[in-house]
Amino acid sequence: MIRSPDIFKVLQTAPLFQGVSGRLLVEKLSESRLRTLNPGEALLVPGQANNAIYIILSGRLSVQTKDSGVEPIALLGEGECVGEESIIGEVHIPAYVIAATACKLLAINHAAMWELIDNSHQAAHNMLSVLSMRIRPTAQIMAESHENHHGFSGTAIVDEMTGLYNRQWIENKINRYLRRYVYDKRPNCLMMVKIDRFKELDDMFGQLGSEQVLRDTAHTILSCLHPDDQAGHFLDEQFVVFMPHTIMADGCIAAERLRAAINESVVVLPSGDALPPISISLGVCAANPDDTPAILFARANEALQQATDGGGNSVKWRDNSRDGETAQQPANAAATLPVKPFMSLWSGVR
């Protein structure tokens, strides 16, 4: 089953299998089966016994405290796994796992996974890392989910087109992060993303083409995110990424990494025809303690606008977090990111 090049590619980049021999993956996971889910379909429910680990090949899964009408604890995308808790013994599923979009999964039974762990130190290390990442934030995430449950009851939070959070959810999430910023005094950054010349693409290739561009851009954004980052479909061809606990330097690195990834991507229509290369413009700004979401969005949008006005395919940034720096430039100025020297000095930080 995993001899499919597409499936094998996902497995090799999945956190659970990074660094594991391709030969071992083929040998130990050859009997794994495919499973598909429609949007809204449940994969796992609390208290359920489970004998498989599911790797997401495409789509997004929502982990939540109820089967509907609540904010998810997490949204998981390509390469991530669910059901891994059950491998350590008689541990039942602690939350609902529901398809936020159409999903394709690879189901790996526990026996096959244990064989792989027994034969690969790296696989054992990866499993321990995944389990620790799941356990560590559980108390905080569950408390936040309970605190905000009432306000989100009955409200859709996922954009069906892209599989990302919608604008309402991302604005509320950012508002909570900003309130928390006042107490923990940790840095945060906001990145605004816009697809260049999107109207031209829509005119040339119609709705089918433009929707495919949106979906592929959203997928690339997800592939470049860190676990704590929050991405949303903001408006039309615009996206937003909130990066908690991130300094400006690292936020600019993330933006440049995303810009390069989009440049290298190829958008293919269902017919098999490839669209011309696409590019994006990005604006990055740091959050201040007294910011509201509207103020933060406006500042990031100023940088984004300068990127688009300059011809697109670039990163611009606004840093208001240090008075000495902002005093040296006009109040509405956005600085151009010196990409190559910046990347050489900071590459790998984030």
CATH of the domain at 60: 2.60.120.10
- At residue 270, what are phi and psi to the nearest 5 degrees? -55, -25
- Looking at the chain, the whole-number percentage of residues with pLDDT higher than 90 is 45
Mean pLDDT to the nearest integer, 212-235: 89
> By mean pLDDT, which of 19-28, 206-215, 225-234 is the weakest?
225-234
Q: Which of 56-70, 106-120, 146-160 has the highest mean pLDDT?
A: 106-120
Q: Is residue 94 part of a domain?
A: yes
Residues 282 and 164 in one domain: yes
169 shares a domain with 133 = no
Q: Which domain holds residue 111?
A: 5-140
Name the β-bridge partners of 239. Answer: 193, 233
Residue 156: HSE in the Cβ half-sphere, 13 Å Cα cutoff: 11
Give φ, ψ of 281 to 5 degrees: -110, 145
Beta-sheet strands, E only, within the chain: 33-37, 42-44, 52-58, 61-64, 74-76, 81-82, 96-99, 103-109, 188-195, 230-235, 238-244, 280-286, 315-318, 335-336
Of 223, 170, 164, 218, nearest in space to 195 by CA? 218
Q: How many domains does the chain have?
A: 2
Residue 76 sits in the same domain as residue 213: no
Q: Could you tell me the pTM of the whole model? A: 0.56
**Burial class of residue 68 (count of CB atoms within 10 Å of its CB; 0-12, 13-18, 19+):** exposed
Domain contains 166: yes
Is there a single domain that holds both residue 224 and residue 339?
Answer: yes
- pLDDT tens for 25-69 read 989 998 899 999 999 999 998 877 888 999 999 999 998 877 777
Q: Give me the pLDDT at residue 279, please.
A: 96
Q: Chain-centre distance of CA 205, in angstroms?
A: 27
Mean pLDDT over 119-137 rounds to 80
Largest Cα–Cα separation, the chain: 63
Clarify whether residues 10 and 129 are in a common domain: yes
Are 18 and 68 part of one and the same domain? yes
Tell me: do 243 and 94 sit in the same domain: no
Pairing of strands 335-336, 96-99: unpaired
